[in-house]
Chains A and B, each alone.
Chain A
Amino acid sequence: MAQPAKAPDRLNDRVNDFVIKLANVNGTGSASANTLLMKSIFRMGIPVMGKNYFPSNIQGLPTWYEIRVTRDGYVARSGRVDLMVAMNAETYHKDVREVSPGGYLIYDSTWPRATVLTRDDITILGVPLARICNENFVGVRNRILMKNIMYAGVLAALLEIDVEVIRGLLTESYAKKPALVDANMKAVQLGYDYAQAHLPCPLPLRVERMDKTKGFIMIDGNTAAALGCVYAGATVGPWYPITPSTSLMDAFKSFCQKLRVDPETGKNNFAVIQAEDELSAIGMVLGANWNGARAFTATSGPGISLMNEFIGLAYYAEVPAVIFDIQRVGPSTGMPTRTQQCDLMLCAYASHGDTKHVMLFPSNPEECFYMSVQAFDLAERLQTPVFVMSDLDIGMNDWMCRDLTWDDSYQPDRGKVLTREEIEALPKFHRYLDKDDDGIPYRTLPGVTAKGAYFTRGSGHNQYGAYTEDAAEYQVVLDRLLRKFKRARTLLPPPVIEATGTSNIGLVAIGSSRGAVNEARDILAKRGIAIDYMRIKAFPFTKEVEAFMAKHEKIFVVEQNRDAQLRSLLTLETDVPKSKLHSILHYDGLPMTSKGIVEAIVAELGDAQRAAVAAR
């Protein structure tokens, strides 16, 4: 064992403020052990962040899990690694390099470790995990699984994680298989005891009970969005499996199997239909919405590419649709298990011809829940597709969120759908007439009355719903569609603005960049740089977005793609001068850290400001 390095002083203050990274091989059950660790810390009242970096593979490739214990509640990556659990021989050489100076590395000392793979500025601790497992458990698969649970026990001793909290979580997970609780607890205890006997417990980085997670849950965005779809009253869910959106429809189905089975008949108040491809999935969504059900699909970039033709039809024929885009890294197949915000332009103008679409930008699972409901209301109110622009980071990682709550007085906004009586009272029904002068026409549903029948088409139509190739008639409808899009701005959620009242520097971001931006603002504020922040929640941009940009001289646009797609949308759809907008781009596929934002802003603000900062 290497001699423990002299710990820098600041490490003494790392209680509830450090990062654990676990390097594993996928398909070995490490995910359960890592979630168990993260959740145990959360249950001890300490804010925590968990991120899973997994390969596009089922078994055998490297996978990492990162846990940030964050007493100040920062939910973004910090960019540090204070404690590495290096369980994967294949990536060991890389993992050992990644540990921040003064940090720790734990490895399986059953086998000899090459002497070159060491560092003298970190503490390396060996635990013979495989040997202990082989001595105590039977069966190859079981031994592999228990090895992971065992390092959770080691960490419990090193970090002072309450073993009873771990037991509680295991008891909940294996409520139906109590024997597994005992087996897992045995592994935890073996690890715990070994560490207590052989390692310097506790480490300076350790946890201490807090009371900061009461009223919070740990949930992933896809589960929260699925729950939102249940509460929105969605009944039809056509889809085609694609990472990272699959867990959304899986969760919807599983919620429905619990909540939507008629107790008397045992029959389903829902239909989840696995389509043959994304083209079919969106076609079904359109057919069902057109016919008066709330229907949605969940997909990712490649799926949106395939859905383009139908999205244009929905826009032009004015059929409601809710589409969840759980964005992943492109172009093409890209990196399916990595995160980006790279479909903004794709969705904003999806399909050929003049089209524009409504988008919502949830920043965490909590917003996924509420925005799902909002998306259905907007889609039906506006009779148009609405995109919920989540991403892999939000969708597949567990985030600490406030408890989800429901207002029982909520009633779905089904939009301008005429009843039988209303139709019968009309002299004649015209589908695309702007009767209310708000750009939104009235629609009727099949099966109600023959008088309300009309022909839905993607070919040229006039405001009465009839086929047309007449120049003027065509333009009347197209111009009204633009008025409707502008009208949408008054119905969409306004941005969240955090202003200092004095700064003329602004920062604009969307979605999952939120955590990194919050932390970056705090870091910059401590260094004397005050920045106003606008988190945009929807497209088309509301008037508050215009006002914020008009008010600030220099605006940083933080986003997770190479081509500055949000900045492009801002320049295309508002009056902001291009020169005001400075891009901070992050597109390596990993969730953002505050570091990149801080560095870019400090660099851009120039010498004068830097000098001023230095003087403070």
Chain B
Amino acid sequence: MSFINKPKVRHPDLPRNELGLTRRDYEGAMSTLCAGCGHDSVTSAIIEAIWGLSMRPEQLVKLSGIGCSSKTTAYFASGSHGFNGVHGRMPSVATGANAANKDLYYIGVSGDGDSLSIGFGQFAHAIRRNVNMLYLCENNGVYGLTKGQFSASADIGTKSKKGEENLQAPVDPCLAALSLGGTFIARSFSGDKEQLVPLIQAGLMHKGFAMIDIISPCVTFNDHVGSTKSYTFAREHYHEAVHADYIPPRAEITASYGEGEALPVQMHDGSQIVLRKLDKDYDPTHRGKAFEYLRTKLRQGEHVTGLIFVSSSGPDMHDMSNTVDLPLNQVPYEKLHPGQEGLAKIIKRYA
């Protein structure tokens, strides 16, 4: 599979976005993941999302670390620059790239091993800095490339393919992000494109760090009975609390919402997210309540999905650094130093 080139045939009637591009224009190289891998569904949701946003491919920057999930940045948006770094350190590369050019959209694809074990520190600090990026954690509870070891997100009591039981407490990326001050925290399931696509769109447009934990089952090593990250388990135990609809700037809200159900959240670029609360007691704008709700549901064996928490105000890394509006990589050199005249003044202090 992996060495076959993708067919380039285009059907003339494929739907086109505002730029006149089809979904095909947002595809990447052929996936080399196992057939049925949840990650491939996430890849197709990303393609659907960026096509729907009519984003020019060169406006997007793709970043990843190491692992099955990190391979997927090659499988979408071949017209976008990609950076596949080292294991667990994608957030720092994304932070540096974002520092250099604030005008582009950054999407980081990581996994539970990459984000919650080797890269837990970088994950945490990128949240603290509120780096303006979308961060996807393709979470399958298992190390795929090294053949089936538990990851840090494996639930207590979940069983490996070989029958071993995990006894260590899991790291929940959503609870972690909530406690670290994350400004956009969501959970979804690779099999639920209807929920995932608008979350990806909203996350890309969110100013600040948008984290989506995506349960993405590993068909080869973690899709058996006894696993809490299998397709079957996810379908039965993942509970959507809040559905998010992404409404682009100037577009009208066409969906109909029940009485008291819709909660519109204004984004910095004029777009909106309309949150549809499926659980009337839930408040996705209250950090403490969101934390408590997630914990309560987890104790009941339910994994809450949807846009768990959002706060559209709050400074991102550039605001905190008070950087100029022009991307730093475009500031003319002349503006960066005061020349010989300035130097002569500076060195007087040292004479």
Residue positions of A touching B, CB distance < 8 A: 172, 216-219, 223, 227, 230-231, 233, 235-236, 238, 255, 259-260, 262, 265-273, 275-277, 279-293, 295, 309-310, 313, 403-408, 411-412, 444-459, 467
Contact = CB atoms under 8 A, between A and B. Distances in A.
B244 interface: no
A403 B101 contact: no
Nearest to B318: A271
Interface stretch (B226-234, B277-285, B287-295, B323-331): B323-331
Interface of B: 56-59, 61, 63, 73-74, 78-86, 89, 91-101, 103-104, 121-122, 124-125, 129, 317-318, 321-325, 328-329, 331, 333, 335-340, 342-343, 346-347, 349-351
B92 A231 contact: no
B22 to A, nearest CB: 14
Given A268-B324, A269-B335, A285-B96, A291 B329 contact: yes
Given A271-B318, A291-B329, 17 more contacts: A218-B350, A235-B331, A269-B328, A279-B92, A280-B92, A283-B86, A284-B93, A288-B96, A288-B329, A292-B100, A293-B100, A403-B347, A450-B57, A450-B79, A452-B58, A453-B58, A455-B82
Nearest to A398: B350
Contact of B92 (A259, A287, A458): A287
A403 B345 CA distance: 11
A172 B348 CA distance: 11
Given A280-B125, A450-B56, A287 B96 contact: yes
29 contacts: A217-B350, A233-B336, A236-B99, A236-B100, A238-B92, A270-B323, A271-B328, A279-B89, A282-B92, A283-B89, A286-B96, A287-B97, A288-B97, A288-B99, A288-B100, A290-B93, A290-B97, A291-B96, A292-B329, A310-B86, A405-B343, A406-B340, A444-B81, A446-B80, A446-B104, A447-B103, A450-B56, A453-B57, A455-B82
A373 to B, nearest CB: 10
B328 A236 contact: yes
Given A236-B96, A295-B100, A271 B86 contact: no
Contacts of B317: 273
Contacts of B89: 279-280, 283, 309-310
B350 to A, nearest CB: 4
**Closest 3 A/B residue pairs (Cβ):** A287-B96, A283-B92, A450-B79
B97 A406 contact: no
Nearest to B128: A276
B87 to A, nearest CB: 8
A285 B73 CA distance: 21
Given A217-B350, A238-B96, A309-B86, A291 B324 contact: no
A259 B78 contact: no
Most chain A CB within a 10 A radius of its CB, from B93, B317, B351: B93
A140 B337 CA distance: 44
B236 to A, nearest CB: 37
Contacts of B78: 453
B32 to A, nearest CB: 9
A217 B351 contact: yes
Contacts of B95: 238, 273, 280, 283-284, 287
Contacts of A444: 81
B74 A455 contact: yes
Given A446-B104, A456-B83, A293 B350 contact: no
Nearest to A217: B350
Most chain A CB within a 10 A radius of its CB, from B86, B122, B329: B329
A459 B66 CA distance: 10
A293 B121 contact: no
Contacts of B98: 287
Given A284-B92, A287-B98, A259 B86 contact: no
Contact of A227 (B125, B331, B346): B346
Given A273-B321, A446-B61, A450-B56, A280 B100 contact: no
Interface residues of A, dominant DSSP: mixed
Contacts of B79: 450-451, 453
A218 B346 CA distance: 12
A283 B96 contact: yes
Contacts of B121: 276-277, 280
B74 A260 contact: no
A230 B56 CA distance: 34
A376 B146 CA distance: 39
A262 B324 CA distance: 8
A265 B325 contact: yes
A112 to B, nearest CB: 43
Contacts of B350: 217-219, 223
A458 B339 contact: no
A235 B103 CA distance: 16
Given A275-B92, A279-B92, A446-B104, A313 B85 contact: yes
A287 B347 contact: no
B351 A269 contact: no
A467 B86 CA distance: 15
B100 A291 contact: yes
B58 A447 contact: yes
A405 to B, nearest CB: 6
A236 B97 CA distance: 10
A529 B129 CA distance: 61
A567 B301 CA distance: 64
A406 B323 contact: no
B82 A456 contact: yes
Nearest to A319: B83
A508 to B, nearest CB: 31
A30 B335 CA distance: 39
A160 to B, nearest CB: 22
A315 to B, nearest CB: 12
A412 B331 CA distance: 13
Given A238-B96, A280-B125, A292-B101, A259 B83 contact: no
A530 to B, nearest CB: 36
A279 B86 CA distance: 10
B97 A446 contact: yes
A365 to B, nearest CB: 9
B325 A412 contact: no
Contact of A267 (B91, B97, B323, B336): B323
B18 to A, nearest CB: 16
Given A235-B100, A268-B321, A268-B324, A276 B58 contact: no
A269 B100 contact: no
A404 B347 contact: yes
A233 B333 contact: yes
A230 B125 contact: no
A259 B94 contact: no
Contacts of B100: 235-236, 287-289, 291-293, 295
A268 B122 contact: no
Most chain B CB within a 10 A radius of its CB, from A285, A408, A444, A447: A447
A457 B351 contact: no
A266 B322 CA distance: 8
A310 B87 CA distance: 10
